[in-house]
Structure 1
Amino acid sequence: MIKEAKVEEIRATLEKAQTVILTNYQGLTVEEDTQLRKQFREAGVEYKVFKNTLVKLALKELGIEGLDEHLEGPVSIALGYEDPTAPGRVISAFVKEHKALELKAGLVQGEVYDLEKITEFASIPPKEVLLGKLLGSLQSPISKFAYLVKAIAEKNEA
C-alpha cells in the first residue's frame, strides 16, 4: 500500500513538471549538494531523489519509455514547473565547477531527451531574456526609422 502511494506521488510529480532531468550525483560532497539544492530553490526547481524502481513504475504508468536505462545507480531528479529550461541551466552551470555531478537524460514536455539534446536545451536562456532580445530586435528598426524620418524633416526645414 505504501509503495503504491509513493508511485502515485512520483507519477503526479512527473506529470506536473514541464521538465524532468536525471543526474548522477555520486561523488558530490554534502557541501556541494547543499549548494546545488540552494541554486535549484532560487531558480524555482524541485530536486528529488526517489527509488529508481518506483520511478520506473511511475514512468510506465505514464506511458513514457526511454528513461529506464538511465535509472541505474544513484539518480537525482530536477523538476522544472514554471521555466522549463531552469533545471538544465542550473545543472550546466554547476557541472562547470563540480565535475562529480553528471547529466544523464531528461524529459521535456513529454519528449525524452538524450544527453546531447538535454545539454543543448539547457543552453536556452530564460524566457525573460528571450523576450528582452525579441523586444530589442523589434525596437531597433523602429528607432532607426524614427531617426531617419526626423533627419528628413530637419533637412526639409533647413
Structure 2
Amino acid sequence: MSKNRQLKQAKVQEIKEKMEKAEAVVLADYQGLTVEEDTQLRKNFREAGVEYKIYKNTLVALAAKELGIEGLEQYLKGPVSIAMSYDDATAPARILNDFAKDHKKLELKAGLVQGTVYDETKIKEVASIPPKEVLIAKLLGSLKAPMSNFVYLLNAIKEKNESAESAE
C-alpha cells in the first residue's frame, strides 16, 4: 500500500472518530473570508470549545459513508469548513450563523446534529436555540417559580394568622 493511501486512510479514520463523538457537525462555505475574519471566527470557536477544521471533501464523504450517514455528501462541494462540537449541539450552528450575519461571504451549508442531517434552513433553526446553560437556567427558573409562590402563600397565611391572634 502506498504511503499516500495510508495517510488518507488515517485521515478518514480521524474524521470518522471526530464525527462519531460530535454532538453536532456543521458545514460552511468559507471562501472569501479575509485572514483577519477567519482568525476571529476561529477565536469564537475556541472560546466555545468547538473544533473548526478544513478537510478534503472526499475524505469527509468517505468517513460519513463508513458511519452510515446518508445525505451529507451532497453538501460537500467546493470549499467547505467543518465545525464540530462535542458538548453543545447548537454551538457550531449558532456561532457560524451569528458570524455570517456580519460577514456575507460565510454561508452555512448543512449539518449533522445527533446523527440527523439537516439542510441550511434547519441548521439556521438549530442556531436559534439558546446555549445549554441558558436552557438549564430557564428550566430551573420555571421550576423555582411555583415553589416560591407557594412559600409566599404560606408566609402570607402565617402573617394573617399572627395578626389575627395579636388583634384578639
**TM-score category, normalised to shorter length:** over 0.9
Could you list the runs of 4 or more consecutive aligned residues of structure 1 that deviate by over 4 angstroms after TM superposition?
A: none
Q: Which residue of 1 aligns with 2:152?
A: 147
User: Of the candidates 19, 27, 34, which is equivalent to residue 24 of structure 2?
Assistant: 19
Kindly state the Cα deviation for residue 157 of structure 1 after the two structures are TM-superposed.
Answer: 1.6
User: Which shifted more, 31-40 or 82-91?
Assistant: 82-91
Q: Which residue of 1 aligns with 2:125?
A: 120
Q: Which residue of 1 aligns with 2:44?
A: 39
Residue 82 (1) aligns with residue 87 (2) = yes
Residue 5 (1) aligns with residue 16 (2) = no
Q: What is the rounded CA distance, in whole Å, between the counterparts of 2:101 and 2:80 in structure 1? A: 19
Kindly state the Cα deviation for residue 59 of structure 1 after the two structures are TM-superposed.
Answer: 0.9
Could you list the per-position Cα deviations for residues 13-63 of structure 1 after superposition, in whole angstroms to 9, with x for gaps in the alignment?
111211100000011111000000000000000000001111111111111
How many positions carry a matched residue from both structures? 158
RMSD of Structure 2 on Structure 1 (CA): 1.0
Query: TM (normalized to structure 2)?
Result: 0.91
* Rg larger for: 2
Give the gaps of 5 or more residues in structure 2. 1-5, 164-168
Q: Secondary structure at the match of 1:38?
A: helix
User: Of the candidates 132, 135, 143, which is equivalent to residue 130 of structure 1?
Assistant: 135
Q: What is the rounded CA distance, in whole Å, between the counterparts of 1:11 and 1:136 in structure 2? A: 39
Kindly state the Cα deviation for residue 96 of structure 1 after the two structures are TM-superposed.
Answer: 1.4
Q: What is the rounded CA distance, in whole Å, between the counterparts of 2:19 and 2:160 in structure 1? A: 64
Q: Secondary structure at the match of 2:81?
A: strand
User: Which shifted more, 40-49 or 60-69?
Assistant: 60-69
Aligned partner of 1:116: which letter? Answer: T
Percentage of pairs with the same residue: 68
Q: Which residue of 1 aligns with 2:102?
A: 97
Q: Which residue of 2 aligns with 1:111?
A: 116
